[in-house]
């Protein structure tokens, strides 16, 4: 996945079985990498792309990834697509899915407070070490020394909160619309929801439709049942109607 993952679980400190639980999270990340990394010629997806693996031989992980990416393409009217140059490339989906799987594993283990970070995309649950809700900083795309906002779960919120950001400030114009190849060059979008696999993919798709203005990005986010805060290609901030529930926004 070409990024760094971190995990903070206050209630695990010194607890029996803590090492085993963390190891299970790491093992699942490694498993996804082994199966779905297009950067590794020996991975399952690379062998399938090269015609060295039949569809009938595909593992459940690969089939799940194909099905999920197909549904996301339909949900976003093609703005998110895992088919590049006619070949399946799940890179835009795997990291969010990995975080969602890790969060589900921690919840299944009975943990009520944790913070997972994968390359700047964050999943939190419960309260942080100080007894307050986790605060997720959104980097300002035009002012590297400042945050654009802080995202927190509201008081009546339960379960996991996922926040994913897609933008051009750090990696340049690396996102393109699958339909016509248009690339955003000066915008950023942070999407909020419960399922990081969905949140991360929609952040990418919403950035790709920014050619038609921030309204198009907001409409896509809302259609997927999520909220967002972003800056359009005109550098103006925008947000969906429900976003003030999660963050302090520009006045």
Does the reported pTM lie above 0.75?
A: yes
Q: Comparing C-alpha atoms, which of 196, 20, 7, 5 is closest to residue 114?
A: 7
Per CATH, which fold does 5-245 belong to?
T-fold (3.10.520)
3 state SS of 54:
coil
Distance, in Å, from the CA atom of 109 to the CA atom of 162, rounded to the nearest integer, reads 19
pLDDT in tens, 145-173: 899 999 999 999 999 999 999 988 777 66
Distance, in Å, from the CA atom of 188 to the CA atom of 148, rounded to the nearest integer, reads 11
Where in 5-79 does DSSP place strands (E)? 5-8
pLDDT in tens, 76-111: 999 999 997 788 999 999 999 999 999 999 999 999
Domain spans, the chain: 5-245
| Positive or negative torsion for Cα 220, 171, 250, 247 | positive
Q: Is residue 89 within 8 Å of residue 64, measured between CB atoms?
A: no
């Amino acid at each position: 996945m070409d990024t760094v993952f971190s995990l903070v679980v206050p209630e695990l400190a010194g607890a029996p079985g803590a090492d085993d639980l963390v190891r299970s999270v790491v093992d699942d990340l490694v498993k996804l990498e082994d199966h779905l990394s297009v950067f590794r010629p020996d991975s399952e997806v690379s062998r399938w792309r090269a015609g060295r693996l039949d569809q009938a031989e595909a593992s459940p992980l690969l089939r799940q990834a194909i099905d999920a990416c197909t549904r996301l393409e339909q949900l976003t009217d093609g703005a998110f697509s895992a088919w590049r140059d006619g070949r399946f490339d799940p890179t835009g989906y795997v990291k969010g899915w990995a975080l969602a799987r890790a969060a589900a594993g921690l919840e299944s283990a009975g943990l009520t407070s944790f913070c997972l970070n994968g390359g700047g995309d964050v999943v939190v649950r419960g309260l942080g070490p100080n007894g307050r809700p986790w605060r997720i900083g959104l980097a300002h795309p035009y002012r590297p020394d400042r945050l654009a906002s802080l995202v927190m779960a509201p008081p009546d919120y339960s379960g996991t909160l996922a926040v994913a950001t897609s933008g051009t400030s750090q990696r340049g114009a690396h996102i393109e619309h699958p339909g016509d190849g248009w690339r955003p060059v000066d915008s950023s979008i942070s999407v909020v929801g419960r399922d990081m696999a969905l949140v991360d993919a929609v952040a990418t798709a919403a950035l790709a439709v920014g050619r038609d203005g921030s309204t198009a990005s907001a409409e896509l986010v809302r259609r997927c049942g999520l909220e967002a805060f972003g800056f359009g290609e005109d550098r103006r901030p925008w947000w969906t109607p429900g976003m003030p529930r999660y963050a302090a926004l520009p006045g």
